[in-house]
Structure 1
Amino acid sequence: MHVFDADAVHAALPWPFLIEALRHAHLGKTPASDVVVQSDPAGGEAQFVTLPGWAPGGPIVVKMVGVFPQNAALAPPQPAVQGLVALFDGKTGGPLLIADGAAMTARKTAADSALGASILAREDVEELLIVGAGALAPHFVAAHLAARPSLRRVTIWNRTAARAHAVAAELRQQEIDAAVGEDLDAAVARADIVSCVTMSDKALVKGALLRPGTHLDLVGAYLPTLREADDTALARGTIFVDSRNNMKSSGDLSQAVASGAISWDAVKADLFELIQGKREGRTGADQITVFKNNGGAHLDLFTASALSQTLA
């Protein structure tokens, strides 16, 4: 059995390789998956999540992660999501590998959004806005740059400006043209891709400010109580999801449905349908596309399977 620490995970899964591995994996059948969420018995906001997935005729994955939103306030900050990912042989049940859960989550989550952008964002995009400056922010910048090489400038916005400045400085050290957006509304109005990676419980992105042709990537609102974009953003955009299986847990979608701004029929396609050519993606340069990154055990399985390929 092979063990991958965080550095080994990041080294083994460069963005172009992983994005294409996920694309290829979506050509097959949707794996069986489940999710078990346990809340902090002491009454805190932390959760522990177990996600098993099993591909038809293929391997089995189990991701075990803690979700601790308060980790961002630690000194130094720690990832809000930490744990382990284990891959097992689908024929014998034997363990194949164990990998750092935070690194695997960062890699698969950013690659999921980047895959969506590679299909749905315009090919001539230049301005990327990352809303949120947590541990995932630098990964999302790198993944989007890999998916859309036309991107030239990156803006980071965060409620706590100091954290946004730290992320922007880190990116500039990598020779990425990165700056801090002091005014979120102004940054949204300039951006070609808006990627939201937050734990916000209220809408941050105002849909009225989105330019025609913008691609909106919503990542953080994985619970019905969380929200990153307002009803107008959902109503103006053509909505796509990574998977339909768990889309109703998304606060962005479920709250917009509850308000009457959209119906569930507004979700035009998921990545399986798009990649298999069953549904159409972007249809015009002025179309606003919305991609809801819901995650799920199937993506953990695809990412762990990609990691196992590096052992051959």
Structure 2
Amino acid sequence: MTTPLTAATAAATTNPIFISTTTLNTLLSHKTLISHFQSTLPNATLSLSTPPRHSLSTSPNSSLLLMPSFSTSPSLPYTGVKIVTSHPQNSSLNLPGIHACYTLFDSLTGQTLALFDATELTLYRTASVSGLASSYLSNVDANVFVMVGAGNLAGHLIKAHLCVRPGISKVFIWNRTAEKAVALAEKLTQEGGFEGVSFESSGCLEEVVKLGDIVSCATNSESELIKGNWLKEGAHLDLVGSFKPSMKECDSEAIRKGRVYVDNDIALEEAGELVSAFEKGVISTDGICGNLVQLIKGEKIGRKEQKEITVFKSVGSGVVDILTAQLVYETVTRDPAAQH
């Protein structure tokens, strides 16, 4: 009697498939990915081994990141690695600052299953992690959303938060280069599909942050953008941009005022906002209220009161990369026509 092959092993007998950005966009939505993370993250964190992200400075302003993850669980028989380049100066060239590729292997045989243009994959998974956290941490009646930064991730973050907080009716976008904020607001307005939502650019960061029920930041800033005393009662602050101690998007007052959660515990070492607050004695590591998996499992309580301020700091991990790759790959192998 032969042992049934897993979907991954069976597919590995054929040539690896390439999943383009175009294909990825037809297969993924923020809503389905948020749901996938909610149902799979708790078990995945038990079965996956995810070594710390390896970050190399390739120039004073550029980085190369290596993010591996692997599992031998029958329910997740994959090994994956993402290679990311970060070139913030690309904004002056009108190019994305982040580029990435992802390779998915069968963890039982080591065979290559799929190659992804993972720039878009990274945007989807980062935004969906923030959206999922927001479902536990932001007020259910959130109405005003503030997007700080107008890069490629910004549109994804707006859409992910709208998935979990459909009551949002006004989105303000701020960017250091005002023209980019204007362009993103116009793009989202023309794109449609956001019934009852208005998109506006703003030239005054302080003014719009003071209005925000949810404030999401996706920048490469190495200086504090968001001041804690700007945050309104009941606000949720979503910090996505920093991934090394020299980067920070808010001051230590915002960390002090908020109940702080992280996507994973590596954030305590990598996030400049937290590292700085720890060094100043504003908060200790024991003051971090929990991580995303603990929120999903109910081991930690998210928002307790309507008036409190919450903070979510995300630095990313190989866990959400491989779960995103799993969802896309298994969708394609169930329906090969979806690849075209």
Structure 1 and Structure 2 fold alike (TM over 0.5): yes
Q: Given the alignment, which residue of 44, 48, 67 partners 2:64?
A: 48
Is the deviation greater in 20-29 or in 225-234?
Answer: 20-29
Please name the residue that 1:257 is paired with: 278
Amino acid at match of 2:101: L
Contact residue 171 and residue 177 of structure 1 kept, 8 A: no
Deviation at 1:266, TM superposition (A): 1.4
8 Å Cα contact 2:268-2:285 kept in structure 1: no
Amino acid corresponding to residue 68 of structure 1 in structure 2? H
Alignment of 1:99-178 (within 5 A): 99-175=116-192, 176-178=197-199
Report the equivalent of 1:28: 43
Mark the CA change 1:289 to 1:5 in structure 2 (over 3 Å): closer, same or farther: same
Stretch deviating more after TM superposition (227-236 or 170-179): 170-179
Alignment size in residue pairs: 308
- Could you say which residue in structure 2 is the equivalent of 1:39? 57
d(CA) in 2 for partners of 1:56, 1:232: 43
Check whether the contact 2:96–2:152 (CA below 8 A) recurs between aligned residues.
yes
Q: Distance in 2 between matches of 1:149 and 1:259?
A: 38
Secondary structure at the counterpart of residue 212 of structure 1: coil
* Gap change, CA 1:5 and 1:190, over 3 Å in 2: same
Which runs of 5 or more residues in structure 2 are unaligned? 1-15, 335-340
SS at match of 2:223: strand
**Aligned twin of 1:70:** 89
Aligned partner of 1:273: which letter? Q
Unaligned stretches of 5+ in structure 1?
A: none
TM-score by length of 2: 0.88
Q: Secondary structure at the match of 1:38?
A: strand
CA distance in 2, matches of 1:231, 1:245: 19
Give yes or no for contact 1:78–1:135 (8 Å, CA) kept in 2.
Answer: no
What's the Cα RMSD here? 1.2
Could you tell which deviates more after superposition, 52-61 or 145-154? 52-61
TM-score w.r.t. length of structure 1 = 0.96
State the alpha-carbon separation in 1 of the partners of residues 293 and 118 from structure 2. 24
Match of 2:326 in 1: 305
Q: How far apart are the structure 2 equivalents of 1:228 and 1:245? A: 17
Cα shift at 1:196: 0.3
Q: Distance in 1 between matches of 2:126 and 2:117?
A: 14
Distance, in Å, in 1 between the alignment partners of 2:292 and 2:323 is 13
**1:210-239 CA-partner distances (Å, limit 9, x unpaired):** 111111000011110011011111001000
Give the deviation of 1:98 after TM superposition: 1.2
> How high is the sequence identity, in percent, across the aligned residues?
33
Shift of 1:29: 4.3
Which amino acid letter does the alignment assign opposite residue 61 of structure 1? G
CA contact (8 A) 1:203 1:229 kept: yes
Residue of structure 2 equivalent to 1:292: 313
Q: Could you say what secondary structure the match of 1:262 adopts?
A: coil
User: Deviations along 1:18-56, whole A, 9 cap, x unmatched?
Assistant: 11111112221422112222221xx44111111101135
**In the alignment, residue 331 of structure 2 is paired with which amino acid?**
T
State the alpha-carbon separation in 2 of the partners of residues 27 and 301 from structure 1.
14
The superposition leaves residues 129-166 of structure 1 with CA deviations (integer Å, 9 ceiling, x where unpaired) of 00001111111111111121111111000111111111
Structure 1 residues 302 and 29, CA gap change in structure 2 (3 angstroms):
closer
Q: Deviations over 1:283-304 (max 9, x none)?
A: 1111111000110111111111
User: What is the alpha-carbon distance in structure 2 between the residues aligned to residue 45 and residue 211 of structure 1?
Assistant: 34
**Which of these two proteins has the greater Rg computed from alpha carbons?**
2
Which residue matches 1:13?
A: 28
Q: Report the residue type matching 1:48 in the other structure.
A: L
The 2-side partners of 1:277 and 1:110 are apart by: 22
Which one of the candidate residues 201, 218, 227 is aligned to 1:180?
201
- Large movers: runs of 4+ above 3 Å: none
